[in-house]
Amino acid sequence: MKHTTRIIIAILVLAMMLPMALACAETNGPEDTTAGSADTQAPTLDATTEAEETMFALSDIPEDLKFDGETIKFLYWNDVENPEFFVEDQNGEAVNDAIYNRNAKVEEQFGVTLEFTGTPGNFNNQSAFVNQAVNSTQAGADAHDFFCGYSMSGATLMCQGIAQDLTGYSIIEFDKPWWPASLIGKATIKDGVYFASGDISTNFLYMMYLCVFNKDLFTDITQLENKALYEMVDNGEWTIDKFIELASGVYVDQNGDATANQGDRFGFVTSNIHFDSFYTAANLFTVIPAEDGTVKLSDDLFSEKTQNLLTKMGAFLHESGDCFFSADQDIFAAGEALFDINRAQITNKKLTATSFSYGILPVPKYDAEQEEYYTCMAFPFTTYVLSTASTHPEAAAATLELMAYQSYMQITPALFEEAMKLRYADQSDDSFMFDLIRETVVIDLGRLLTNRLDNLSYSLFRSAMNNNQGSSWASLEKANTKLFNRKITDINKAIEKLG
């Protein structure tokens, strides 16, 4: 996969600007240094600024669209891991100020007021959040327009029958890059989309799974330039086999205590809660849309491919001696590991003061025959639901779209620059990787419906990898398929009631 889009745009912009630059050169000689006042001086045409602005897709929202006086009400989970919905004021921090500016832009452009009401709603508080959302639909004019909760809550609210189909509003353009393509491709139910996420959710960006690598260690161990890894990704060669090959033979008992622990050097470190990312990266699903608009168990789950993935990764994790997976270690941040699979937020929460250079890559794909990379989402991101009780749904839908667009324009670049300490517009290898990871995010129905599936949609695979049970995977099929299908039948009964 070649990352050429930004480069082509920049070249075209520069080409269009060249005649103007020549004309200016003829009018104003090199010795003309007369400066006007700040109020009257003509703006300078800057190639970098123009190219940077043109990198982004544009919204089709009419500039004169107004909803003067409307108040758009959001019920949001206030125990969210990272700021997302609103901030009180600007403070000079990139993401904070981008959130502030996004909301200000939406209010100014549409003439609306954004009103946010917070309540606990994380993994342990989902039931209370859902109950408050359901109660809100009985509130008449005081009802909330949007429910913005922990990722699993969106599908739960859909099953409760209080989520609107967002495809019914033409102003929401799911083909735009601020919405993941998999919303339509993998999360459509009864030809509708009942919950959405993407750039609009700061935590969506923070919770994308990626692979971080120690650039200094990579060069020392392999004698290759870091460019080699980016080229592998670009050429479709960044696979499980290549990942295992590079991470093997790296372990060193640096502290000399004859025990694999903090202080030693590893090829790969992670936590077992991140094992899910390998399943998604292999283009595997648990629950998928059925042809009749309901959902069904995917053949992927107990397939030979899944068993091969478990067997291969199990041997590497448990038998190679090059891996360490424990939730309470900071081995990668200490410079003692070549690779780490983690959520994107590791860059701004763990790696801001590292003594080494690091880079980002997608989680490796299953094999070279797989055409694309696929990005798993960790659970703590927000799904946005438009309430069936909204008293001004057209204004609410337009607000959702404009917030998503402004997030894409302002928050996404700010988050990358704050986390990676690189300018998003400089088109570094890592900014291309960030785009690739973001563009290949998978919205997986199985993961979002996991509350209704007793967590089986992730726990079976995660447990098998954690316990090196690849060889016995097929034996789990009979009992668990019956349990899955019983749960899916209940989900489909709720889906059948949707409008």
Q: What is the pTM of this model?
A: 0.89
Whether pLDDT at 19 is above 50 = no
Please report, rounded to a whole number, the percentage of residues in the chain having pLDDT higher than 70.
89
* Lookup result for tokens 């990005």: 375
3-class DSSP state for residue 85? coil
CATH 3.40.190.10 fits 71-206+378-421, yes or no: yes
What the block records as the tokens of 270 is: 């992670």
What the block records as the tokens of 73 is: 């009400």
* Lookup result for tokens 């970098």: 48
What the block records as the tokens of 430 is: 């890592």
Whether pLDDT at 321 is above 60 = yes
The tens digit of pLDDT for each residue in 82-116 reads 999 999 999 999 999 999 999 999 999 999 999 99
- What would be the CATH architecture of the domain defined by 209-376+450-495? 3-Layer(aba) Sandwich (3.40)
Whether pLDDT at 54 is above 80 = no
The tens digit of pLDDT for each residue in 34-44 reads 233 223 233 33
Q: What is the pLDDT of residue 253?
A: 95
- Cα–Cα distance between 19 and 14 in angstroms, integer? 10
First-to-last alpha carbon distance for the chain, in angstroms, is 40
Residues 6 or more apart whose CB falls under 8 angstroms from that of 315 comprise 468, 470
- Cα–Cα distance between 396 and 390 in angstroms, integer? 8
3-class DSSP state for residue 477? helix
CATH 3.40.190.10 segments of the chain: 71-206+378-421, 209-376+450-495
What the block records as the tokens of 149 is: 């909760």
3-class DSSP state for residue 309? helix
3-class DSSP state for residue 163? strand
The sign of the torsion formed by the CA atoms of 437, 270, 359, 218 equals negative
What the block records as the tokens of 159 is: 């099953």
Q: What is the pLDDT of residue 442?
A: 96
Mean pLDDT of the chain: 89
- E-strand stretches of 365-492: 382-386
User: What confidence category does residue 351 fall into, taking pLDDT thresholds of 50, 70 and 90?
Assistant: very high
Please report, rounded to a whole number, the percentage of residues in the chain having pLDDT higher than 90.
84
